[in-house]
Structure 1
Amino acid sequence: MMNLGFSAMGIEWGTYVLVGSIFGLLLTGLPLAFVTGLVALVFTFGWFGPMALPLVTARVYGFITEYSLVAVPMFVFMASLLDRSGIARDLFNGMRMLAGRVPGGVAVQTLVVAFFLAAMSGIIGGEIVLLGMLALPQMLRLGYDRNISIGVVCAGGSLGTMMPPSIVLIIYGLIASVSIADLFTAAITPAVILMFSYMAYVLFRTIRNPELGPPLSKEEANLPWSEKLRALRAIVLPGMIAFLVLGTIYGGVASVTEAAAMGVLGVFMAIVVRRELTFRLVQESVIQTINTCGMIIWIGIGAAALVGVYNLMGGNAFVSNTILGIDAEPVYIIMVMMLILLVLGLFLDWIGIAMLALPIFVPIVVKLGYDPIWFGILFAVNMQVSFLSPPFGPAAFYLKGVAPPEITLKHIYAAVLPFIVIQLIVLAAILFYPSIALWPIR
């Protein structure tokens, strides 16, 4: 195969053609993994000829043999087991006892449950499906405002992008070559701020107008203490699982990969104690894990090949010089990056954005003198925004699959808008005050 002469167009036009090809092929409905892989092969042969192929495949090999990547299927498997067991359901019912007769109380405790689920698994879609089946019908039955109910489920479920053990942070750590444990430590404060910001918004709306979030009835709120204690015991197992995963990481007992394996063991033991372990439960969990991880790996392979050939073309230097050549303060350059990520988030899923943009953005961030750990937290918050943002926000489609038929995608997109604004405010706060994220690791 001969060189097709693509190099004659120069790196600038080559960049335009490459990006245009990606979006053009995506419009045909082809999966992102196939699009990036196909464009990578065309540009490898067209720009350099067949002799450059081993250089690109070496980059792919480096990605798929990364040891820390083993943590991803472990955390996905743990989340799959939690999805199919009754642990999350009992956690929700137990936390419901704490709602009391406060307006918006059930919505607030739903956010707490979402935080717990995020701390146990780090997987986003499963949390929204669970909350959509457990919390959404409960809030609608109690007469909660539809928009608040939907927004709480979607925003709470998206906390998994931030709260360790976040898969988003693991992939960022692999790409940016930074400590995943440090990323986890830095992410906790922003995740807590997001959760409390959602709570503050719900309480502000429901206290001003209790009809938007009616409190529990006297009968439901004033259950005997024996029943309350029985329900609250359901919180113990999830708390122990979260401590097993995060406590071993922060205590220096285990690496992230080892903690992921311990988390799977903890969930297995919890399921055995609850007498819920069946062959079908394990089989379905394994199938879901294979499907999810297969998607992540194939997108990663395609993106690694594409970024590899683009770097060989000189694309990383071109983008770096273009961005660094902007006559503005460094913080404005970071803001431009955030804007680019937000726009990409309207059309691509987070793993594709991470694999395509981060290998180019992270070296620029380091050249500007910023901490890549801090940028990783900004990236995770940005991806949380993309998870809710129309037209392709995955949260809406996850929830639509389990929501009552009368709830449309239009209803869901309208409901999440106030929560997107909250996410953008938190994103801006971390951007201008990096110590929000970095204080625990300094």
Structure 2
Amino acid sequence: MFDLSALGIEFGTLAMFGLLLALLVTGMPLAFVTLLVALIFALGWFGPMAVPLITSRVYSFVSSFVFVSVPMFVLMAAILDRSGIARDLFDAMRLIGGRLRGGVAIQTIFVAVILAAMSGIIGGEIVLLGLIALPQMLRLGYDRRLAIGVVCAGGALGTMVPPSIVLIIYGLTANVSIGALFTAAFIPGFMLASFYVAYVLIRAYLDPSKAPIPEPNEMTTREKLSLLKGVILPILVVVFVLGSIYGGIASVTEASAIGVLGVILSTIVRGEFSLTLMKNAALQTLSTVGMIVWIGIGASALIGVFNLMGGIDFVSNAISGISENRYVVLIFMMIILFVLGMFLDWVGIALLTLPIFVPIVMELGFDPVWFGVLFCMNMQMSFLSPPFGPAAFYLKSVAPKDISLGEIFRSLLPFIGLQALALAMLIIFPGITGR
């Protein structure tokens, strides 16, 4: 076999990432690409004796106890997808929107925040809002782009609002307290949601045709109380999950189990529980978590081999040497993450870049928890960014046929700008995270 180590680390790094890109262009899944490249370079650089090193690194990734919380939160989202909880929650939020101009869009953002705080999953939330909120906004005569942007950007808040799966994966990869990450991301998540609300209000009052006020629909006290029932169960689940974490009563893993129990009990109380519902939710969970695990295995193997090659030190020195100003280095890392986010899944980005970036961040004297919030805000942008922003594809799957993918991406540009503004605010004012 050709001795790849003869290339040297500089050309070896170029060859590795060139091969990665070439295989990704063929359409091969990221998990298999990273595993294949890791195997090629392990054998070509070190010989067969390096293979056990790959397996030991993979085992350390999948054996983490905190990782158990990921399938739990995914299961919560899967059950929510199949119950009427989200629809009733949306109806209950009419009490907040009322006769406010842009009220339905604001109502959608509030629902998105509560759903994000229940499960921390993004895809299902966008689909739910696309089925419930988008048709209502279009029927009322809302500007199409405003309605589309609110659904996608609101649905992607699960990246930032605890208990975010992105924060959990960051904590596992960077070896940082997940509880500390949840605490630090709490205010930034709500800050971003408030930016969306402010944007909707500004657009609505500058041009009233963008968000017409709905026809008056007077409700009796009995009807209002009936609507409020829809918000009680979701709020209780959020309080039990986040309250147990912040109160120090339960770990993230234990709180995720409490959340699953809470959602199952909610479906029982509502008379929606069935074995078919649980079976379908379990199958969806297996599919989603299987993808995360396989990407994690591939990325862990690749980074392990790259580290043995001396690649992480090489890239770290190259990035650190860009400027003596540590903020210039930080912004350069943010740009790299944003560009990668346009093409790769966030799980792959986290597992491929964080083993390189986090040591640099700590060497520069930055707080890794604060950087974790920056990372999640950046991944928030990746969910919306063309050409492969997942949010657009999730919405396209349930949107009316006359809404094209191009129109969805154009609708998202102002919201990407708001996310960039929030990221800049976190860099300029790190105290927002409490760090």
1:306 to 294, 302, 305: 302
Structure 1 residue 172 corresponds to structure 2 residue 170: yes
Counting only pairs closer than 5 Å after superposition, residues 182-221 of structure 1 correspond to structure 2 as 182-218=180-216, 220=217
What is the match of residue 74 of structure 1? 72
What is the match of residue 389 of structure 2? 393
Counting only pairs closer than 5 Å after superposition, residues 88-237 of structure 1 correspond to structure 2 as 88-218=86-216, 220=217, 222-237=218-233
1:354 to 350, 353, 365: 350
2:19 to 18, 21, 28: 21
What is the match of residue 260 of structure 2? 264
Structure 1 residue 331 corresponds to structure 2 residue 327: yes
Which amino acid is the alignment partner of residue 331 of structure 1?
A: Y
Deviations 1:127-173 (Å, cap 9, x if unpaired)?
A: 00000000000000111000010000000001000001100000000
Report the Cα distance in structure 2 between the residues aligned to 1:211 and 1:229, rounded to whole angstroms: 32
Which amino acid is the alignment partner of residue 232 of structure 1?
A: L
Q: Is residue 323–residue 329 contact of structure 2 (8 Å, CA) maintained in 1? A: no
Report the Cα distance in structure 1 between the residues aligned to 2:155 and 2:353, rounded to whole angstroms: 25
Report the Cα distance in structure 2 between the residues aligned to 1:245 and 1:77, rounded to whole angstroms: 14
Report the Cα distance in structure 1 between the residues aligned to 2:321 and 2:138, rounded to whole angstroms: 53
Q: Is residue 3–residue 44 contact of structure 2 (8 Å, CA) maintained in 1? A: yes
1:421 to 417, 423, 427: 417
Deviations 1:389-433 (Å, cap 9, x if unpaired)?
A: 000000000000000111110110010000000000110110121
Report the Cα distance in structure 2 between the residues aligned to 1:225 and 1:16, rounded to whole angstroms: 67
Which amino acid is the alignment partner of residue 31 of structure 2?
A: A
2:374 to 378, 386, 398: 378
Q: Is residue 31–residue 294 contact of structure 2 (8 Å, CA) maintained in 1? A: yes
Q: SS of the residue aligned with 2:306?
A: helix
What is the match of residue 314 of structure 2? 318
1:342 to 305, 313, 338: 338
Which amino acid is the alignment partner of residue 144 of structure 1?
A: Y
Which amino acid is the alignment partner of residue 309 of structure 1?
A: V
Which amino acid is the alignment partner of residue 84 of structure 2?
A: G
Which amino acid is the alignment partner of residue 283 of structure 1?
A: K
Report the Cα distance in structure 2 between the residues aligned to 1:210 and 1:223, rounded to whole angstroms: 25
Question: 1:225: Cα distance to partner?
Answer: 2.0
Question: 1:258: Cα distance to partner?
Answer: 0.2
What is the match of residue 6 of structure 2? 8
Which amino acid is the alignment partner of residue 241 of structure 1?
A: V
Question: 1:232: Cα distance to partner?
Answer: 1.5
Which amino acid is the alignment partner of residue 236 of structure 1?
A: I
What is the match of residue 48 of structure 2? 50
What is the match of residue 293 of structure 1? 289
Report the Cα distance in structure 2 between the residues aligned to 1:340 and 1:185, rounded to whole angstroms: 26
Report the Cα distance in structure 2 between the residues aligned to 1:70 and 1:355, rounded to whole angstroms: 17
Which amino acid is the alignment partner of residue 168 of structure 1?
A: V
Report the Cα distance in structure 2 between the residues aligned to 1:406 and 1:207, rounded to whole angstroms: 27
Question: 1:326: Cα distance to partner?
Answer: 2.0
What is the match of residue 434 of structure 1? 430
Question: 1:97: Cα distance to partner?
Answer: 2.7
Structure 2: stretches of 5+ with no match in the other structure: none
Counting only pairs closer than 5 Å after superposition, residues 396-411 of structure 1 correspond to structure 2 as 396-411=392-407
What is the match of residue 363 of structure 2? 367
Deviations 1:360-395 (Å, cap 9, x if unpaired)?
A: 100110011100000000000000000000000000
Report the Cα distance in structure 2 between the residues aligned to 1:54 and 1:86, rounded to whole angstroms: 48
Q: Is residue 120–residue 238 contact of structure 1 (8 Å, CA) maintained in 2? A: yes
Which amino acid is the alignment partner of residue 357 of structure 2?
A: F
Deviations 1:35-66 (Å, cap 9, x if unpaired)?
A: 00000000000000001111111100100111
Q: Is residue 99–residue 216 contact of structure 1 (8 Å, CA) maintained in 2? A: no
Moved over 2 A (4+): none
Aligned CA RMSD, in angstroms, stands at: 0.8
Report the Cα distance in structure 2 between the residues aligned to 1:31 and 1:327, rounded to whole angstroms: 35
What is the match of residue 235 of structure 2? 239
Question: 1:279: Cα distance to partner?
Answer: 1.1
Question: 1:115: Cα distance to partner?
Answer: 0.2
Number of residues of Structure 1 aligned to a counterpart in Structure 2: 435
Report the Cα distance in structure 2 between the residues aligned to 1:57 and 1:274, rounded to whole angstroms: 46
Report the Cα distance in structure 2 between the residues aligned to 1:397 and 1:56, rounded to whole angstroms: 34
Which amino acid is the alignment partner of residue 242 of structure 1?
A: V
Question: 1:85: Cα distance to partner?
Answer: 0.5
Which amino acid is the alignment partner of residue 80 of structure 1?
A: A
Q: Is residue 78–residue 121 contact of structure 1 (8 Å, CA) maintained in 2? A: yes
Deviations 1:305-334 (Å, cap 9, x if unpaired)?
A: 000000000011101111122233001100
Q: Is residue 241–residue 259 contact of structure 2 (8 Å, CA) maintained in 1? A: yes
Structure 1 residue 280 corresponds to structure 2 residue 276: yes
Which amino acid is the alignment partner of residue 407 of structure 1?
A: I
Structure 1: stretches of 5+ with no match in the other structure: none
Q: Is residue 90–residue 108 contact of structure 2 (8 Å, CA) maintained in 1? A: yes
Question: 1:186: Cα distance to partner?
Answer: 0.4
Which amino acid is the alignment partner of residue 356 of structure 2?
A: I
